[in-house]
Structure 1
Amino acid sequence: MALLTSDNPEQAIQDWLASQPADSDVLSLCYGFPQYYLDGEPVIRLLAICQCSGGQLVFTVGEASDHLCAELEGSGSPTSLEQFCADHGWPLLSAGQPLRLRPVAIPKPWGQEIWYTGIEERGLSLVTDGVSSVPLPWVLSVMPDRLVAGHGRRINLLKILDPLPEEVFGDLYFELHEEKREVYVVTHVDKQAWQDGVGSIRFGFDEKVVAGYETEQAFRKDYLLAVRKYESVRREIDALLDQYRLAEDVDLNAPVSAIQLKAWLARVPEALQSRELELRKAMNRFTSLLPLRVGDVVKVPLRTPHALQHGVRTVEFQTPVYERQILSFAQKVLTQSHWDSEKGVEIMSLERPVLSGLPVLAESSGYRLEEVVSFDDFRVERLTIQARSDAEFSLPDTGNYALLMSVEGEVQVGEQLLGAEEAMLIPARRNDLTLNSQSSGDITILIAWPV
């Protein structure tokens, strides 16, 4: 078949499938793809190639170079999609099977984020067949309805927060959200940072301090004053550090290592460092620290200020909305030139959030399914399959996509093996899937579903 061009690749594939192609038939399709995650949404040409093989729809996608398009226009579609992928370094994917996600690491001043479904100008997560990989949004653009029920531009964000194990250097922004829903599952607490294995998150405000004020407005006023005093000394120090950056030809907004920061901070006058510490303590006395252990779940209510602390590694699920109000940060904020303290203090919630147990959704002799969180737009469940159990868990067919991550242990997902901290996107239209333990110990799997 000759190379086709279409404005709607999924419709072209459906029309081709309706013609009942033989296993040897291959469809090559070129289409324009607006890169919606970049300014101006520049359009690139993508090439999708599909083949029916043993009753399965397999496909690949990549950039449609002029050379490759000319080759296909001259010779027609390749006779073997598997061979084409091997020759060109493209992944061979199945539309009805889980898509293995390859994460991208995003440096942060406090450590790194590891994105499994990130689609932003700052970074694109990938889909892989174990050999070759391609950007996730390219894959979703081929068949957005079949793969993610039309949610191609709003995939829930699955990532790992991996802060440094050192106090201050590994503490995240103290921030709140008005729209973005977040849930954290603690997977590791660094013993270097927390010898007893109990880490923490700065989470809301100290009830006793709040109660010491006659009105909430008086509390907000004093807290904002403390934040402004700290921000003043913070900016004084950051201005000195920026001079050191320029002298060493380091970009003003580039993340640098904690070792480098310490070297620069050693040159900051001791009196200024002492004032920073004093004002930081005065500011933080208003807030509350919530202890965290491995396995704990933190559901972050809207408008509740929070900051994961150093050395506490978590899996995070969140809605794909980039909005936040930064109240404070004990380092320079690299992604914006200002703090949002005044607006944040005005709208922040003063209710003290607490951890709660997880409702059990289903239980058998071999597994337990618990509800981690149920928000308006997505829910997360935790599946534990017991050690030495032959229990199988059938993944329900909701008609929508799901995100699957193994927190610990190896699990068989259909025909694929999923290891610890590996993730998959489960297509909306798929074959039946069962999960089976492949580990000697208990395995824990997180499952996220859009609502």
Structure 2
Amino acid sequence: MSLPLFPSPAELLDRHLDDLGPVVGRFRFKQYYLPGSPELELALCLVSPESEEGARCLALVTDQVSEVTRWMATGALDPPGLQCLADAIGSPVVDLFGPWELLPVHIAKPWGQEIWYTGIEARGQSLIAEGGNSVPLPWLLSIAPDRLLQPGGRDPALLKILDPLPEEVFGDLYFELHEEKREVYVVTHVDGDAWPDGTGAIRFGFDPEQRQNHGDADFRARFLSLVRDYEAIRRQIDGFCDRYRRRDGIGLNEPVPAHQLKKWLGDVPRVLRQREEAARAAMNEMTHLVPLAVGDVVKVPCLTPHALQHGVRTVEFQTPVYERKILSFAQKVLTQSHWDTEEAVGLMSLDAGHLEPLPVIERDSGYTLEQVVAFDDFEVFRLTLAVGGTWRAPDRDCYRLAMALQDGALVNGRVLGAEHACLVPRMARWLSVANTGAGSLVVLLCQPIL
């Protein structure tokens, strides 16, 4: 016996929703986020239990097709049977009406780490967690992305945390710009050792006084010249460090802890280190630093160079594309062999970045809803709930993301702790948030523009 093969898992879901009878089958999933888009065979089981709490559709999707086939020869495909199968193969049973708990993947960076809650690409895929087990987010979405996200949708907006090291230089991000990618940061923590007064920073655009002194054309030429000078020194230092990597058996493009990098830099000739420091200071003098405190919001316009500074932890929402141009970096760039300075200088905005106040959308005795940003493809809100406060969003025909910044959030009945997030599928349509904690609660919400 083998499971029936369906051209599309959406056919299984349609068949199930037509009469709510249990269905099982297999389908071929093209892993579009991996090089070459390798094909993977997955099994899908769908069961809808009777519930007084509203519609439910329990799904199990797994690559253990043979195990599901064996189970179907003897086991029952009902809610208890589906859970027994899931426990036996270590897969979760997920309600397609949600909400889904997002299990992040940690991506090492030279400057610290990124924590991806909805990441779907070759470097890592986020997971959906339920009952102690997990399944890759793209596998679950592959069942019917139109039904689970939005018509024509394949990936949700990318929700992640930027977690830089607290040390100057070592924890400073790339100075880069984007042509298409839209992103917004919400500051959640400023390291007290790195910034004793509680105010961190982001390098954001260019210094207005320097720009006025030089004029735009000369400013671009001077900045490009300074970066080229710095890059030449940087590559000499990186060459020394690459020798030490080979000596110590560490890959040339493998992230290493700051203490290891410091040890190698200590063996670089002092005169070269002094030249690097002076060249970096001259380059950075052309740029603009904006102070950041917990709760601040940074909307990054396309073509505006920016670099979050060390020790400033943020939640980021962005379009799910990998696209950037690196103008400069105070370490070796591990993900590409070149900087994009010359092209970026011709494209970049010379304006100084700034923070904008958030408009209040709704306010009541128990909550305040502010709009963080409204891009062409998605929008983000900040919901602040008083103790015991609740908020119900208008029903909406799309998915939504929610991240709690403190403990005590209840999103569509699912408890979220601090820096925990969930995805509410399109099939749910409704969204309710409550504060069950002992203090004020902030929840960040994201939804596509329809």
TM-score (norm 1): 0.95
Q: Which amino acid aligns with 1:108?
A: K
Q: How far did residue 88 of structure 1 move?
A: 1.4
2:32 to 27, 36, 47: 36
- Summarize deviations over 1:402-431 as a string: whole Å, max 9, x none: 111001232111221011100001111116
In the alignment, does 2:109 pair up with 1:108?
yes
What is the aligned partner in structure 1 of residue 409 from structure 2?
A: 411
Note if contact 1:78-1:84 (Cα within 8 Å) is conserved in structure 2: no
Secondary structure at the aligned position of 1:212 is classed as helix
In the alignment, does 2:312 pair up with 1:312?
yes
Q: Which amino acid aligns with 1:30?
A: R
Q: Which amino acid aligns with 1:89?
A: G
Aligned ranges for residues 185-264 of structure 1 at < 5 Å?
185-213=186-214, 215-264=215-264
Q: Which amino acid aligns with 2:42?
A: L
Instruction: Determine the C-alpha separation between the residues in 1 that align with 2:438 and 2:262.
Output: 43
Secondary structure at the aligned position of 1:268 is classed as coil
Instruction: Determine the C-alpha separation between the residues in 1 that align with 2:36 and 2:74.
Output: 35
Instruction: Determine the C-alpha separation between the residues in 1 that align with 2:196 and 2:319.
Output: 33
- Summarize deviations over 1:201-239 as a string: whole Å, max 9, x none: 0000000000001x3111000000000000000000000
What is the aligned partner in structure 2 of residue 63 from structure 1?
A: 63
Q: How far did residue 16 of structure 1 move?
A: 2.7
Gaps of 5+ in 2: none
- Greater shift in the superposed pair: 4-13 or 132-141: 4-13
Secondary structure at the aligned position of 1:363 is classed as strand
What is the aligned partner in structure 2 of residue 328 from structure 1?
A: 328
Q: Which amino acid aligns with 2:44?
A: A
Q: Which amino acid aligns with 2:5?
A: T
Q: How far did residue 342 of structure 1 move?
A: 0.2
Note if contact 1:30-1:45 (Cα within 8 Å) is conserved in structure 2: yes
- Greater shift in the superposed pair: 397-406 or 78-87: 78-87
In the alignment, does 2:174 pair up with 1:173?
yes
Q: Which amino acid aligns with 1:427?
A: P
Instruction: Determine the C-alpha separation between the residues in 2 that align with 1:363 and 1:332.
Output: 47
Using the aligned pairs only, state the percent identity: 50
Secondary structure at the aligned position of 1:97 is classed as coil
- Greater shift in the superposed pair: 410-419 or 254-263: 410-419
Q: How far did residue 317 of structure 1 move?
A: 0.2
Note if contact 2:395-2:429 (Cα within 8 Å) is conserved in structure 1: no
Note if contact 2:98-2:423 (Cα within 8 Å) is conserved in structure 1: no
Instruction: Determine the C-alpha separation between the residues in 2 that align with 1:434 and 1:69.
Output: 35
Gaps of 5+ in 1: none
Instruction: Determine the C-alpha separation between the residues in 1 that align with 2:366 and 2:19.
Output: 45
What is the aligned partner in structure 1 of residue 360 from structure 2?
A: 360
- Summarize deviations over 1:328-362 as a string: whole Å, max 9, x none: 00000000000000001111001122111100000
What is the aligned partner in structure 2 of residue 426 from structure 1?
A: 424
Note if contact 2:146-2:154 (Cα within 8 Å) is conserved in structure 1: no
Note if contact 2:206-2:353 (Cα within 8 Å) is conserved in structure 1: no
- Greater shift in the superposed pair: 75-84 or 392-401: 75-84
In the alignment, does 2:121 pair up with 1:120?
yes
Q: How far did residue 76 of structure 1 move?
A: 6.8
- Summarize deviations over 1:283-331 as a string: whole Å, max 9, x none: 1100010000000000001100000000000000000111101000000
Secondary structure at the aligned position of 2:321 is classed as coil
What is the aligned partner in structure 2 of residue 46 from structure 1?
A: 42
What is the aligned partner in structure 2 of residue 393 from structure 1?
A: 391
- Summarize deviations over 1:240-297 as a string: whole Å, max 9, x none: 0000000111000000000100110110011110000000001110001000000000
Instruction: Determine the C-alpha separation between the residues in 2 that align with 1:151 and 1:425.
Output: 18
What is the aligned partner in structure 1 of residue 5 from structure 2?
A: 5
Instruction: Determine the C-alpha separation between the residues in 2 that align with 1:70 and 1:144.
Output: 25
Q: How far did residue 82 of structure 1 move?
A: 1.4
Flag the 1:414–1:107 CA change in 2: closer, same or farther, 3 A.
same
Secondary structure at the aligned position of 2:224 is classed as helix
Secondary structure at the aligned position of 1:345 is classed as helix
TM-score (norm 2): 0.96
Note if contact 1:409-1:444 (Cα within 8 Å) is conserved in structure 2: no
Note if contact 1:85-1:91 (Cα within 8 Å) is conserved in structure 2: yes
- Greater shift in the superposed pair: 175-184 or 7-16: 7-16
- Greater shift in the superposed pair: 30-39 or 52-61: 52-61
Q: How far did residue 70 of structure 1 move?
A: 4.2
Secondary structure at the aligned position of 2:331 is classed as coil
Flag the 1:431–1:210 CA change in 2: closer, same or farther, 3 A.
closer
In the alignment, does 2:379 pair up with 1:379?
yes
**Cα root mean square deviation, aligned:** 1.5
Secondary structure at the aligned position of 2:168 is classed as coil
Note if contact 1:370-1:382 (Cα within 8 Å) is conserved in structure 2: yes
Note if contact 1:27-1:77 (Cα within 8 Å) is conserved in structure 2: no
